[in-house]
Amino acid sequence: MDEYDLYISPKTPSIGLYVLKGAGLPDFAEKDKWIFDGTAAEDLLLSEVIRDVKANGHAFRRMD
């Protein structure tokens, strides 16, 4: 089962950025503006997040 790393922007904590565990932030994300917030197993995430990470290498999610 895959695991996914979550990054949060302190300026906009209502948006999360998911990537496969260990992949690091995508090129478009400024590394100093995102904070690692943990890792989650596939079965704990929305299917849309998993689908988008597999298709695009990353997924955004509203954290509200």
| 5-63 residue pLDDT tens | 999 999 999 999 999 999 999 999 999 999 999 999 999 999 999 999 999 999 999 99
Give the whole-angstrom CA distance, residue 55 versus residue 48: 10
Q: How many domains does the chain have?
A: 1
Q: Indicate the pLDDT class of residue 64, thresholds 50, 70 and 90.
A: confident
SS3 assignment, position 7 = strand
pTM of the model: 0.93
Radius of gyration of the chain (CA): 11
Torsion angle of the four alpha carbons 35, 37, 40, 46, in this order, in degrees rounded to the nearest 10: -70
Which structural domain range is residue 18 located in? 3-62
SS3 assignment, position 48 = helix
